[in-house]
């Protein structure tokens, strides 16, 4: 039974140097429009649900292009308002092997989304029309105005009985000096409101400032996550452990804590084509599992396979259908499909 | 002593999404013209023989482009007739790592080749001008009219003392439900006429419906292929065993059964750039060995190296000269040639 | 007050050689998805209405790409069904100066749209949800099955009080020998059902077989169109007269017959970048004027300016907003907008 | 005798959609780095002088790319400092025929140049090392901090006996409501400091608020410019009159007021490939004439020909050598040079 | 009745900057392989004849690419030998409007063709297999060795009763100082051997050093060409008069002197896309007319239309079929062909 | 304390087929300008020094493009003279896996650099303005005239107390038959003049003709290099040992002999994107270490990391800053930097 899900978040323009050139070597860029909200709304559309984005775009050719692109990704735009002047954007130079990829941001504080005035979004209309809403820690890092929209929307959805989903997604560069201190109370507010949260042991230690005597990653997880689940009454806590190999391969294992029990996915190892947005694919997979009442084991493995596929697809936004993910869960590397 | 070889088969337009994008992400396609016959005629030209294609192309700009492309590949077009309205075509989306490549076909039943009327090809002229002719199981899957051309041509060549070569190439999607049942009598007709056949143990079991008690691939091969060689009086039976690794590498071992004895190539393991058409490169290598009176060991290793190189070249059609293949047979990965 | 309009028609993949190369010179194609219905539904969306396409797409990667593309163009896809195997497609080689552009079609009779079985479209649901529906003479040329869908849908919309729009769009190459004879009864059936019709004096003479003593184009128009309007009780008859200059410029004048009175647009002369689809832009402009209760003079000039802009935009599908068209109606060639 | 000239101004990244697509149709951009200062410094380098840019660039990959690009254009970067976080950028969609080009800006107020703190530029070092400096009215529109840099630098150069050049370049969109009122005192300050000024009769009326009884453009010029030259003791006042034709051609006539006498160039009519930056080519031509002690007639015709060529070259920045301009001054359209 | 024609000449690699960029702005080149001989042999193939090239190519990847390209153009390569080390090449920067195109050559004296040793070409075999051979004044400018091949081949063809065709094609930059003096005796040698010659009044005055009292181009033609025809017993003398307009259009009129009578084509005026190679298209048209026994009037108009079309096609090499040229002879600018 | 370094060498145009196509498959090339001198001067600029190139470029559009490109790479062009007619160029076809890359050269003997007449370079001015100069064995292979420039420049720098650096870089294909015999006396002359030399045990054995009883590479190194250092009084001898794996990865270990002691870098293993120019990155790293008075261990590891990064960057020329190299020395494969 397909659900209706909204994601609240900024639309970013991604400007990527083709191939492996640097900005100072090339003269061409490929562009697309993405963002955590975009990725989640699109991924859930491809899994059969109706995905809305709640956001604000400038009323100019860049905003038009972003809107066309969201439509192309299968996202419903009824809750997108137009106004403001700018679109956040970032430049991506692909790394190769030992040379890491580089991201250079424009000033997103001035974007239409981050300057949306009070009353921009019709909270009642949105909250009454959806089954769940997704928020992201990146948005939380922006400014008071955006945080107010975020919290108001979370409260409205909660009141209407909708599910509130929060991906911690702490980005140190966005919070600046003393970032964890600034972030903690805001994260706590969001956790109070959330039903499903994406977070791992490191988030708990750094963002919430909790301590553990455990040394190993896995032991820290077992120690800390149940505390958080209990303290904030969170139904599902999920996340991944990633290991980066030197030869362009990553390993990924998903986990999920529900009703006090941890479930782990198989540990997947795979070649990486485009790493950005893979975390959103994982989150979308968990959400899909929960919205579809899958067993936890099916849910984490579905989410991990969705994340794997997102690493093999160009662009930030996952492109796999539910069927593609099922196929990837059960198959090994195969020959051409013809 | 160079020989004159014709290949009978359809020319397909290949429309490939550049890079690793999906059709729903991109707006550009690279195109080329290929097909089993094209690949074999071109490969043999590069090995020093004269390669003809026997086929039919529409008399429109697409047919003109296909013809120019065949010339570019070194193929002689004297036996190509023009007529009909359409060219078969397929779309190729490149896979990456665990995400498989996808092929989407247009309706090739309506193509100029597959609607060629009786009398399209001058069988006498063709048969009297060549040393050998190559046919493919894909063509056999098309329709009665094409099969008639195919069998008539095979018979004419046989009558003129030419060599008849047949590559089983069974494609389940082309034969539909009950495919093996439909295919069996047609394959048997072709085997009766053939001197050199490309086939492995799986083909024997599925297409010819033969059974074996052996469990291992290699034992099945040893059990079944000599039966086929004997029953249909086939001089050379050859094929490959392929293994697909998860990290974009394949392993390939060629084999050949001649005068009752099996010969195996070294098992080659290599990175894959473009997998399509590599089987045709192998077949061309075997043919070249036979036409040049190589010893079986040299022939299978030449064919395997030709197949390896075809995996490293863009497009369906092999591009390696005889010298390139010899170099690949005897070398390890090397530095830039400058 | 925005309206809800559907267009019934085939989605075609356009494969265009970049620049001015021929298919036999290039190796790259740009692709997009269009068709009269696509163009009209998209243009009306950009004018502020809600535009649906009623069509059928294959359930494969080509169909997915077409669907994404329709979304990108702002078209609602609720009335699109998936099924069948193929998508109609055509190749476009750009002309230059005296060298004309060339279009080469694939076999569209086998397309998902043209093989849609009975019951494919939910006529009741569609007819009850829209204010108007648009049909095209190209669809009428296809086959009986498609014509049945077309007429049934027209009748259903008429019954629900919706507006039926028909663009004659007679394409000789699609009707073959004796085309006008075959077409006449079918065109008459559509005219009986239509409220707004796109047609000029040539269509009346050729398709409906009517005669006039007038020699001049304009006199023929004055003589013939009022007859058709009267005989079939058509509210609005509209069309254009085009003149092609040698230097890549065209001249265009729109006309409209309503309540017995002709209204003509200014005669526009302009450089042409992409001619295909400009007729659909004109039709969309007339429709927009009618749906918005513009005066005839405003309507024809709006439609002519929309057509002009469509000649300056890449691709078949109009990209101009209502505001863009208004600006073009009132301006002369200007400097960069910055 | 080559001179040393600096230009003070912002470096902008230009992101241009290839061909005639809109941002909502394409997925690729070509980028380059330009700005009035960049264009003037580069043009003068190509005329044989040494051209410096005085500016500030972020210390990130975008700033690196901008710097590489300035070097590529032959500009000396000794007076460029690194700091701040952002680079101003604009998107360019090419118009076609009657459809105008569109420019969409990012937020340049936050750029490294526009946030340069006090003390960013070593005024003494710059002023003592150059013969002339060029300023632009676009910079004047930015903010107080930038204007302070601008005026301080103009004063320092004047003190060291260098030539101060000012191009009025009033851009309404940058000054906002009541722009002319805000701009007037600032323009007056710059005029007080300037030796060579680019301005036409419209600038005088709008920016300086002067009135004239003359109706014709040329009469207004004859009335107003001598007043400005006298009041601000400006040695050379120069500018152009442009007329835009409907068929992608522009007409341009340069003028120059020196020692009380007007000199006009021939009126040139030509096809336009890339209009942006052509005004900077004209200004550079006038500067070159003055720095080289050309007669006024030679100077205006050189400048007009330089402007003409700048319309035929891709990108904002003029690419013509002194020899190229001389050739264009004396030739008619010619055959391939081979 | 199709004929067999050979052309003797160098294959050049053309490296063209895409669009209107300069070499110092771009980082990409499009390449193709051409030359007068290539263009003529290819054009005649498209008119239904069998076209051979007599030339020499290096035995390296560049030579392989050139050979593939000749095949693609429909040229037979039986008389092409492999050897030497280099391929001549030139860079082409497209002009725009008043800015002329620029051609920069590599050192072609070291090319395989220009260093071909004695005995490279089997004169007897070639001369006995063809109906006509085409030479070009560019080849004559190279060096003694090449000139020897040229003259020997012309003599051999003459002996076997074949037609000798010579296009004067004097290029000042290739002959250097005192070029006309050096060229005269060599041109005279070629004229002695030729049946069909391409030349106009300017060639006669400059290359042959003849004088005339006539002032007008047309009068000079009437005065000088009959003298040349008589003195060297040339059956057909043909050429064109070209006028270059400022707006990217050229005008062209062909002429032909046969049996003492001049015939002129219509004067054609048209937009130019790619000017290089259009002269070869004209020559091929005249040759085709002569080989097909057309009336002079049909021949010159065919040749002029072939030249017109060559200006509208990308690349040096004509791409039009006989049918395309007939269509262009009889049509005005038309709509899309679909 | 940044130093001033010049490099003497030819600028080559690199014409690279994009992707993995062969020259006979593609129609596009990417171009850049490089050469050992270019690479070293640019790399040292990025490490904070001032890098000059001493060379000669043609005064045509190719020379202009090369000069722009050198500027873009951060190289100072004060010691570059213009003259001659040609630029050396080479074509690069990328290999894949077991298929090696191929380089095809044009005739560089005719290049502006290789035909520079006596007096081209102002030896005094250059020698008095720099701290060090870099030479390469490729230049030594050219011709007597170039060798004279090379030796004269080396002597002048030595006289002014500058450091002379020589990279042996023996290329068999450039020296032809009996190459080592021809090369030996010339290499000896350079070694006499050099302070820092790049060379390994193979160079000593082949180029200098010295023998060793040692069998292992490392033992040969320990035996031979100290002899050379002693005989020619070389302060620093450095080089690398490379091992090429079959899966597109190379291993590299740098070594350095100074004051009688060998220092080795860590052995690095990494994926290769663009192998050409990596040796120049290593040499630049050693030079940077020596010019910055690093300890030998820091120097070799810096150089090895610089070489590693050069393998991951497009084009011949290293693009890494000092900071990039430090980061690579201390890190493992990492996630996106954002």
Question: D102 Cβ partners below 8 Å, 6+ apart?
Answer: A61, C336, C337, C338, D92, D93, D95
Query: How would residue D176 be classed by pLDDT, with cut points 50, 70 and 90?
Result: confident
Radius of gyration in angstroms for the set of CA atoms belonging to chain A, rounded to a whole number: 19
CATH classification code of C1-122:
3.40.1190.20
Q: Are A281 and A39 in contact (CB under 8 A)?
A: yes
d(CA B232, CA E213): 88
Q: Is A240 helix (H, G, I), strand (E, B) or coil?
A: strand
- Say whether F71 and D71 touch across the interface (CB within 8 A): yes
d(CA B138, CA B136): 5
| Fold assignment, F235-331 | 3.40.1190
pLDDT of residue C333: 59
A19 contact residues in E (CB cutoff 8 A): none
- Say whether E73 and B69 touch across the interface (CB within 8 A): no
- Here the tokens at position D264 are 């006009």
Residues 40-99 of E with CB under 8 A from B: 68-69, 71-74
Length of chain A: 338
What class, spelled out in words, does domain E1-127 have in CATH? alpha beta
How many CB contacts within 8 angstroms connect chain C with chain F? Answer: 3
Q: CA of D12, closest CA in chain B: separation in Å? A: 29
Q: Which of E24, E100, E242 has the CB atom closest to D337's CB atom? A: E100
Tens of pLDDT along C54-113?
999 999 999 999 999 999 999 999 999 999 999 999 999 999 988 989 999 988 999 999
Question: Which of A50, A41, F245 is closest to B332 using CA atoms?
Answer: F245
pLDDT top residue among F177 and C81: C81
E21 φψ region: left (φ > 0), alpha (ψ -120 to 50), beta (else): beta
- Say whether C68 and A69 touch across the interface (CB within 8 A): no
- Say whether F107 and E102 touch across the interface (CB within 8 A): no
Query: How would residue D97 be classed by pLDDT, with cut points 50, 70 and 90?
Result: confident
- Say whether E91 and F61 touch across the interface (CB within 8 A): yes
- Say whether D96 and C312 touch across the interface (CB within 8 A): yes
When pLDDT is averaged across residues A238-255 and rounded to a whole number, the result is 90
The list of chain E residues with pLDDT below 50 reads none
Tens of pLDDT along A284-303?
999 999 999 999 999 999 99
Q: Which of C20, C22, C101 has the CB atom closest to E273's CB atom? A: C20
pLDDT of residue C335: 66
Q: Is A170 helix (H, G, I), strand (E, B) or coil?
A: coil
pLDDT of residue F35: 97
pLDDT of residue C338: 65
Query: CA of C281: how far to CAs of C6, C13, C317, D305, in Å?
Result: 15, 19, 8, 41
Tens of pLDDT along C180-213?
999 999 999 999 999 999 999 999 999 999 999 9
pLDDT of residue D338: 65
Is residue F182 predicted with pLDDT exceeding 70?
yes
- Say whether C107 and B86 touch across the interface (CB within 8 A): yes
Q: CA of A231, closest CA in chain D: separation in Å? A: 40
Q: Which of B23, B61, B106 has the CB atom closest to C86's CB atom? A: B106
How many CB contacts within 8 angstroms connect chain A with chain C? Answer: 16
- Say whether F72 and D74 touch across the interface (CB within 8 A): no
Q: Are E287 and E322 in contact (CB under 8 A)?
A: no
Q: Which of C27, C61, C107 has the CB atom closest to B91's CB atom? A: C61
End-to-end CA distance of chain B: 32
The rounded Cα D21 to chain-centroid distance in angstroms is 27
In chain E, where does the domain assigned CATH 3.40.1190.20 lie? 1-127
Interface test with C, best of F22, F24, F27, F29 (most C CBs within 10 A): F27
- Here the tokens at position B70 are 């065949």
Is residue F288 predicted with pLDDT exceeding 90?
yes
Q: Is B267 helix (H, G, I), strand (E, B) or coil?
A: coil
Question: Which of B287, B279, B300 is closest to B5 using CA atoms?
Answer: B287
Q: Are D318 and D309 in contact (CB under 8 A)?
A: yes
Question: C143 Cβ partners below 8 Å, 6+ apart?
Answer: C109, C114
- Residue C16: its H or E element: strand C12-16
Interface test with D, best of C314, C320, C323, C331 (most D CBs within 10 A): C314
When pLDDT is averaged across residues A234-260 and rounded to a whole number, the result is 93
D311 contact residues in E (CB cutoff 8 A): 97
Tens of pLDDT along C2-53?
999 999 999 999 999 999 999 999 999 999 999 999 999 999 999 999 999 9
d(CA C12, CA D272): 35
Q: Annotate A301-337 with DSSP letters as a single string.
A: HHHHHHHHHHHTSSSSS----HHHHHHHHH--S---B
Q: Is D11 helix (H, G, I), strand (E, B) or coil?
A: coil
When pLDDT is averaged across residues D147-171 and rounded to a whole number, the result is 97
Question: Which of A239, A217, A219 is closest to A286 using CA atoms?
Answer: A239
**Residue with structure tokens 């006995």?**
E128
Q: Is B28 helix (H, G, I), strand (E, B) or coil?
A: strand
Query: How would residue A307 be classed by pLDDT, with cut points 50, 70 and 90?
Result: very high
Query: CA of C104: how far to CAs of A178, B92, B301, C63, F194, in Å?
Result: 65, 21, 44, 21, 68
pLDDT of residue A333: 59
A46 contact residues in B (CB cutoff 8 A): none
pLDDT of residue E332: 65
Helices (H), chain E: 36-46, 61-72, 123-128, 137-140, 144-159, 172-175, 179-193, 201-207, 217-232, 278-291, 296-311, 322-330
End-to-end CA distance of chain F: 32
Touching partners of B (3+ C-beta pairs < 8 Å): A, C, D, E, F
E127 φψ region: left (φ > 0), alpha (ψ -120 to 50), beta (else): alpha
Q: Are A45 and A73 in contact (CB under 8 A)?
A: yes
pLDDT of residue D98: 85
End-to-end CA distance of chain A: 32
Q: Are C176 and C184 in contact (CB under 8 A)?
A: no
Q: CA of E176, closest CA in chain B: separation in Å? A: 35
| Fold assignment, A235-330 | 3.40.1190
Q: CA of C103, closest CA in chain A: separation in Å? A: 27
F309 contact residues in A (CB cutoff 8 A): 98-99
In chain A, where does the domain assigned CATH 3.40.1190.30 lie? 8-47+55-116
Q: Are F76 and F51 in contact (CB under 8 A)?
A: yes
D244 contact residues in C (CB cutoff 8 A): 332-335
A27 contact residues in E (CB cutoff 8 A): 26-27
**Residue with structure tokens 């030896």?**
F123
pLDDT of residue B335: 65
A62 contact residues in D (CB cutoff 8 A): 23, 91, 104
Quick check: E336 contacting C, CB < 8 Å? yes
Residues 12-51 of A with CB under 8 A from D: 15, 22-24, 27-32
Mean pLDDT, chain F, rounded, equals: 95
Query: CA of B274: how far to CAs of B279, B317, E327, in Å?
Result: 12, 10, 42
pLDDT of residue B177: 87
Is residue D247 predicted with pLDDT exceeding 80?
no
Question: Which of C23, E313, C15, C90 is closest to B62 using CA atoms?
Answer: C23
Check whether domain D1-161 has CATH 3.40.1190.20, yes or no = yes
Interface test with F, best of A14, A17, A99 (most F CBs within 10 A): A99
Is residue A1 predicted with pLDDT exceeding 90?
no
F245 contact residues in B (CB cutoff 8 A): 333
pLDDT of residue E163: 97
- Say whether B336 and F20 touch across the interface (CB within 8 A): no
Question: Which of F32, F68, F11 is closest to D315 using CA atoms?
Answer: F68
C311 contact residues in D (CB cutoff 8 A): 97
B27 contact residues in D (CB cutoff 8 A): 26-27
Q: CA of F68, closest CA in chain D: separation in Å? A: 5
E25 contact residues in D (CB cutoff 8 A): 314-315, 319
pLDDT of residue D5: 98
The list of chain B residues with pLDDT below 50 reads none
pLDDT of residue B35: 97
Q: Annotate C239-294 with DSSP letters as a single string.
A: EEEEEE-TTSEEEEEEEEEETTEEEEPPPEEEE-S--TTHHHHHHHHHHHHHHTT-
What class, spelled out in words, does domain A8-47+55-116 have in CATH? alpha beta
Q: Which of E32, E69, E107 has the CB atom closest to F107's CB atom? A: E107
- Say whether C93 and B61 touch across the interface (CB within 8 A): yes
**Residue with structure tokens 């972030």?**
A183
Q: Are D322 and D288 in contact (CB under 8 A)?
A: yes
- Here the tokens at position E155 are 């003599």
Length of chain D: 338
Percent share of chain D, pLDDT over 70: 98
Question: D46 Cβ partners below 8 Å, 6+ apart?
Answer: D74, D318, D319, D320, D321, D322
In chain F, where does the domain assigned CATH 3.40.1190.20 lie? 1-161, 235-331
- Here the tokens at position A184 are 């903690």
Residue C45: closest CA among chain A residues belongs to which residue? A68
Query: How would residue F1 be classed by pLDDT, with cut points 50, 70 and 90?
Result: confident
Mean pLDDT, chain A, rounded, equals: 95
E249 contact residues in C (CB cutoff 8 A): 247
Is residue F90 predicted with pLDDT exceeding 90?
yes
E72 contact residues in B (CB cutoff 8 A): 68-69, 71-72
Question: Which of E249, E253, E225, E256 is closest to E241 using CA atoms?
Answer: E253
pLDDT of residue C248: 79
Question: D47 Cβ partners below 8 Å, 6+ apart?
Answer: D284, D288, D321, D322, D325
In chain A, where does the domain assigned CATH 3.40.1190.20 lie? 235-330
């Amino acid at each position: 039974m397909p659900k209706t899900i909204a994601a609240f978040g900024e639309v970013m323009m991604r400007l990527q140097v083709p191939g492996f050139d640097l900005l100072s070597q090339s003269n061409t860029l490929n562009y697309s429009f993405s963002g955590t909200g975009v990725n989640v709304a699109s991924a859930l559309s491809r899994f059969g649900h109706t995905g809305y984005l709640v956001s604000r775009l400038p009323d100019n050719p860049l905003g038009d292009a972003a809107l066309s692109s969201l439509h192309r990704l299968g996202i419903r735009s009824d809750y997108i308002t137009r106004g403001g002047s700018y679109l956040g954007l970032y430049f991506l130079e692909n790394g190769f092997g030992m040379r890491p990829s580089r991201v250079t941001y424009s000033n997103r504080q001035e974007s239409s989304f981050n300057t949306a005035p009070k009353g921009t979004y019709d909270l009642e209309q949105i909250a009454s029309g959806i089954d769940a809403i997704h928020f992201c820690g990146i948005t939380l890092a922006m400014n008071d105005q955006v945080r107010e929209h975020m919290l108001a929307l979370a409260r409205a959805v909660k009141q209407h009985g909708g599910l509130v989903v929060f991906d911690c997604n702490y980005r140190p560069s966005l919070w600046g000096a003393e970032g964890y201190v600034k972030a903690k109370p805001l994260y706590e507010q969001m956790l109070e409101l959330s039903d499903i949260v994406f977070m791992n042991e490191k988030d708990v230690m750094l963002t919430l400032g909790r301590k553990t005597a455990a040394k190993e990653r896995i032991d820290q997880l077992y120690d800390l996550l149940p505390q958080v689940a209990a303290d904030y009454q969170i139904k599902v806590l999920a996340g991944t452990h990633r290991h980066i190999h030197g030869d362009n391969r990553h390993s990924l294992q998903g986990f999920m804590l529900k009703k006090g029990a941890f479930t782990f996915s198989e540990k997947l190892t795979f070649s990486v084509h485009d790493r950005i947005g893979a975390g959103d694919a994982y989150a979308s997979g968990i959400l899909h599992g929960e919205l579809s009442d899958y067993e936890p084991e099916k849910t984490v493995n579905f989410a991990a396979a969705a994340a794997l596929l997102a690493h093999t697809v160009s662009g930030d936004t996952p492109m796999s259908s539910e069927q593609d993910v099922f196929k990837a869960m059960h198959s090994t590397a195969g020959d051409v499909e013809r």
